[in-house]
Structure 1
Amino acid sequence: MNELECKLKQQQNLFDSVWSERNTFSKHLMEAKDEIVELKQKLKVMTHQVEQIKEEITTKEMQLLKESGEREKAEKDREDLKAKNLKLHSELSNSQQCIEKMLKEENRMQKLISEVETENSKRKKDIDQLLNERDLLGTQLIRRNEELSLLQEKVKILQFSLQRGETQYNQRVEDIRLLKIEVKRIRQEKALLERSLSNSTDLRQEVFHLERDLMQERLKSKALEEELTNPLNVHRWRKLEVPGLPGKP
């Protein structure tokens, strides 16, 4: 879970970084749009100026027809106006290229933001699934602890019952020893189970084996209880006499 939380924090930091870059690019885009509006206004002004210049050129041409003496000056003014017109057209072309570049950059950033949001959504789904599996494994672990406690109680009852018959004493001691070993093994498996919560596949297999072993132990305990309740070879039993009290069983 710590590793998943670290990954989540990394993904969150990446998302924050991308979001910050998106805000920066959005700010740049707004500035570019403002510049575009300003350039359009300048273009409008320049167009108006071009119209005015055209009107001046017409006026100049009329003046050239009327005043041949000022022809050279009018020609020079006309050349200057042509140069200004070419300069304005060049600036307009550069502005259009800049606008197209800004639009391409905006599309690229929108695509990047969409990919990051999709990846973040996928990570959140994976985290929710892992949390659900963790809760399920925790519930199963609690259930195994309860079954282990019940098995320990049955072991105590079995130990108490085994002390009632001397003829089956050795066999019952061996059963108790085996049960203690099994309880120790189950506790070790429980500790391994607690350490392996992150691996759900191995944990499911381990839970399956534990349930199978627990079922075998239950069957064995039930068989021992039935054997104590209905003992075999009753005709071979003999009464024991307490020392100092002859004739008393």
Structure 2
Amino acid sequence: MKIALIGYGKMGKTIHELAEQHGDGVVFIIDRNSSDQLNHMNRENVDVAIEFTNPESAFENLKYCVVNQIPVISGTTGWLHRYDELVRICHKNDGTFMYASNFSIGVNIFFEVNKFLAEKMSGYQEYRVSMEEIHHTEKLDAPSGTAITLAEGIVEKNSRFESVKEIDIHSKRIGKTPGTHTIEYHSPIDSIEIKHTAHSRRGFAKGAYEAAVWIKNKKGVFSIQDMLFGDQ
């Protein structure tokens, strides 16, 4: 498999290691110093692109891929106000695209647990819900994309909430923390807490690599839930 890495930070480098371990070739490495290389990518020399950059450049990177029919997955957060626009461009150009706020398999199972709990707690007004997310100090966006996805899951399943803005999210940036997300339902009587703690970036990178393998011969817009759970 011929892989293009768009963005070569810590995630890109970890994905690079995984790809080589599986015998795949990384044919393009594009970062801020080699952004002009993006225009040399095409369907003949790239099987799939993996995009982890920043909110300012993500949309144009992804647009280039879908217009040129290069299957692309992205874990960049902070650009989702243009997500629907990218979906339209992808369909218009018969492209292939997957976005996930978090590619960790464990986190995506945690998303489902969060929805289950939110639905069960819907009728209990006495419980106040809050969320804490902790990441490394280099993470630019707050709250994290994972925290926003968790909040969206609560709003979807708990009839007490109409907007993500109603969910109390506390963001912390501490040291080299890969990512910790905690959701608590608290009442004067007791509390219920669910928590996911990442021990390294390797889980995120492994999920992203597996998504790239899964999507490379498909057409359309997908989520990681499509890959993990078969939900269309």
Q: Do they fold alike, i.e. is TM over 0.5?
A: no
Q: Which has the higher strand share?
A: 2
Larger radius of gyration: 1
Instruction: Indicate the structure whose relative CO is greater, using CA pairs within 8 Å and at least 6 residues apart.
Output: 2
Q: Which has the higher helix share?
A: 1
Provide the TM-score with structure 1 as the length reference.
0.22
